[in-house]
Amino acid sequence: MSISVAIIEDDVRLQQQLTELVNSSDRFTCAGAYTSAEEALREIPRRPADVALMDINLPGMSGVECTYRLKKLSPATQVMILTAYTDNEKIFKALAMGAGGYLLKRTPPDQILSAIADIHQGGAPMSGYIARKVVQSFALRTGPNTPVLSPREEEVLALVAKGYVNKEIAASLGLGVETIRGHLKSIYNKLHVRSRTEAAMKFYGGKES
């Protein structure tokens, strides 16, 4: 069964090319293409998608907030952030809101497709850069009930930040690759909890609805 992909991109030409790219492979189907976050949030629950390709700079509601709301409306949909240039802060915010990964728009087409396939597998890839941002994020003090990282998770995170891949980390810690992936997922979850509490404050004025 093919992977259904929703495309949220306000540049019509790029949206069309992405739609063609997705439909060009048997493994993917375009479930819908939307030009705004508002439209996507209205349509995706009716026409569910496995993966949403989300432009980060959208008119009106931003891709960051859209990610947060979409994950609440449709938790099973994996969000892949698309960005024209490395807008560091926004990328990290979107990941913290629950996006599963990010791609630069200049990424070659075949790599875009394989990245969509990877994210659908549920992999939680973490780059060294993202690991740095996660470390910085956890270094900030927040409320008393916000989760903190376990020593092992910190260890794994530090190695990712140094540029090591899962296999290398597993080898150096004497653990299985799956265990490392589990730690990364846990780190992401804790990051989401921290960030989504803040997001609730920001987007809903105080309470997680």
Single out the segment in contact with other proteins by CB under 8 A; choices: 69-77, 81-89, 141-149, 192-200: 81-89
Residues in the chain: 209
Could you tell me where the beta strands, DSSP code E, fall in 9-97?
28-34, 51-55, 78-83
CB of 198 to other proteins, least distance (A): 19
Size of the site for other proteins (CB under 8 A): 22
Q: In what order do the strands lie in the sheet with 28-34?
A: 28-34, 3-8, 51-55, 78-83, 101-104
The CA distances from residue 173 to 144, 158, 159, 164, 186, in Å, are: 31, 12, 10, 12, 17
123 binds other proteins (CB under 8 A): no
20 binds other proteins (CB under 8 A): no
User: Which of 14, 61, 117, 135 touches other proteins (CB under 8 A)?
Assistant: 135
Residue 128 backbone phi and psi in degrees, to 5: -60, -40
- Residue 29: strand pairing partners: 4
CB of 131 to other proteins, least distance (A): 9
103 binds other proteins (CB under 8 A): no
User: Which of 16, 24, 114, 136 touches other proteins (CB under 8 A)?
Assistant: 136
102 binds other proteins (CB under 8 A): no
106 binds other proteins (CB under 8 A): yes
